């Protein structure tokens, strides 16, 4: 399997972007991705803004193929992939595949429909994988203090909660940076705990 | 059955036809972001999707990208890719847990986006 490993194969890492239907996952990914979403993703995007007429047979080929993802070449040897979880419940079986091996997850929330991110929060808490909660600030939506959001979702004090604008590259960058800090923080804690457990 | 005219969409091939009826990859552990690369050029011994996959993997490509480019569902791509890896037509490399310095490097790059 390691044949021809002398060939330089860059490293591919991934971050998962999750949250409820229409919360801005595709927008978030698109704000930093260097690849254009392909046609197959159109169906999912359409669905994610609330057009639910696709439920059923129409999804036969396109939506099962469709993966909402973006790529960022961090340097010549590292490519970062952002994978969006499908917003609809009927695709939740895909989550395990998406999450396996991920560095961490960004859970996007919309304060107008905060409950939409409950399934994602529950899932990633249960996984024990590092995640941050990013409140996508929609125009016209009432602003809440991030601590109020934390409380509403009963998030632990160690889970970063921050505001973002999924349309803004700089804002998305800050969220991803916060996630990486969290990933590193979790890793460092685990490393510290390990020798103690060995005793 | 025999007298029936061909349906409008004759190009649609059922996913299980492509995989020979299998749903589980021969090789477990292929992730969406696993990079696969062709060991050699596609040749006559490969047909249809398998040949297409080897052609697409001329340079390293993630499993997710292969599925998208070849236009097959992810589960099908995994089965076909794993077949090709086992047959020695594709090479894949799965990184183990990333060292802390690598995570820090990724963070620094992300912060600089």
Residue A91, domain CATH: 3.40.50.300
Range of the domain at A183: 11-198
Angstrom distance (rounded) from CA B36 to CA B31: 10
What pLDDT was estimated at residue A3?
Answer: 42
Q: Is B92 helix (H, G, I), strand (E, B) or coil?
A: strand
How many domains would you assign to chain A?
Answer: 1
Residue predicted with more confidence, B108 or A156? B108
Instruction: Please list, in sequence order, all residues whose beta carbon lies within 8 angstroms of the beta carbon of residue A199, skipping any fewer than 6 positions away.
Output: none
The answer to whether residue A75 sits within a structural domain is yes
What pLDDT was estimated at residue B81?
Answer: 94
Angstrom distance (rounded) from CA A91 to CA A78: 29
Angstrom distance (rounded) from CA A101 to CA A15: 9
The answer to whether residue A73 sits within a structural domain is yes
Which residues in A93-128 are b (16+ Cβ under 10 Å) and which e?
ebbebbbbbbbbbbbbbbbeebebbebbbebbbeee
CATH of domain B15-111: 1.10.10
CB contact under 8 A, B106 and A80: yes
Pairing of β B35-38 and β B61-62 = antiparallel
Looking at chain A from residue 85 to 144, which residues have their Cβ under 8 Å from any Cβ of chain B? 94, 97-98, 100-101, 103
User: A20-24, A90-94, A134-138: which has the highest mean pLDDT?
Assistant: A134-138
Task: Place A145 in a pLDDT band, splitting at 50, 70 and 90.
Answer: confident
The answer to whether residue A171 sits within a structural domain is yes
pLDDT along chain B (113 residues), means of 10: 53 76 78 92 85 93 91 88 93 82 96 94
The answer to whether residue A96 sits within a structural domain is yes
The answer to whether residue A1 sits within a structural domain is no
Instruction: Please list, in sequence order, all residues whose beta carbon lies within 8 angstroms of the beta carbon of residue A196, skipping any fewer than 6 positions away.
Output: none
**Mean local confidence (pLDDT), A8-16:** 83
Angstrom distance (rounded) from CA A33 to CA A81: 8
| Whether pLDDT at A74 is above 90 | yes
Least CB-CB distance to A187: which of B71, B92, B100? Answer: B100
Residue predicted with more confidence, A56 or A183? A183
B103 touches chain A (CB under 8 A): yes
The per-residue pLDDT for range A78-122, each reduced to its tens digit, is 999 999 887 666 666 778 888 888 999 999 999 888 888 888 899
CB contact under 8 A, A40 and B71: yes
pTM comes to 0.80
Least CB-CB distance to B111: which of A169, A177, A188? Answer: A177
The answer to whether residue A173 sits within a structural domain is yes
B28 touches chain A (CB under 8 A): no
CB contact under 8 A, B32 and A97: yes
CB contact under 8 A, B33 and A78: no
CA angle A180, A186, A191 (to 5 degrees): 125
């Amino acid at each position: 399997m390691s044949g021809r490993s002398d060939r330089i194969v860059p490293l591919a890492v991934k971050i998962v972007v999750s949250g409820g239907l229409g919360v801005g996952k595709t927008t978030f990914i698109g704000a930093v991705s260097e690849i254009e979403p392909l046609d197959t993703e159109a169906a999912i995007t359409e669905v994610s803004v609330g057009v639910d007429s696709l439920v059923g047979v129409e999804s036969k080929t396109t939506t099962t193929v469709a993966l909402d993802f973006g790529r960022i070449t961090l340097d010549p040897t590292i490519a970062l992939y952002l994978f969006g979880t499908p917003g609809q419940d009927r695709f939740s079986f895909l989550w395990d595949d998406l999450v396996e091996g991920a560095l961490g997850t960004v859970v996007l929330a919309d304060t107008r429909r905060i409950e939409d991110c409950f399934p994602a929060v529950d899932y990633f808490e249960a996984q024990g994988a590092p995640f941050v909660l990013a409140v996508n600030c929609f125009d016209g939506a009432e602003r809440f203090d991030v601590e109020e959001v934390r409380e509403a979702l009963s998030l632990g004090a160690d889970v970063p909660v921050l505001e973002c604008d999924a349309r803004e590259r700089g804002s998305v960058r800050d969220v991803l940076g916060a996630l990486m800090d969290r990933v590193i923080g979790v890793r460092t804690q685990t490393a510290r705990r390990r020798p103690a457990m060995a005793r | 059955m025999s007298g029936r005219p061909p349906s409008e969409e004759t190009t649609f091939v059922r996913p299980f036809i492509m995989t020979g009826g299998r749903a589980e990859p021969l090789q477990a552990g292929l992730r969406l972001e696993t990079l696969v690369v062709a060991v050699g050029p596609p040749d006559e011994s490969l047909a249809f999707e398998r040949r297409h996959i080897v052609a697409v993997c001329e340079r390293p490509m993630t499993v997710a990208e292969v599925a998208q480019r070849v236009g097959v569902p992810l589960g099908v791509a995994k089965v076909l890719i794993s077949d090709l890896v086992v047959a020695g037509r594709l090479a894949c490399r799965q990184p183990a847990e990333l060292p802390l310095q690598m995570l820090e490097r990724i963070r620094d790059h992300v912060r600089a986006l």
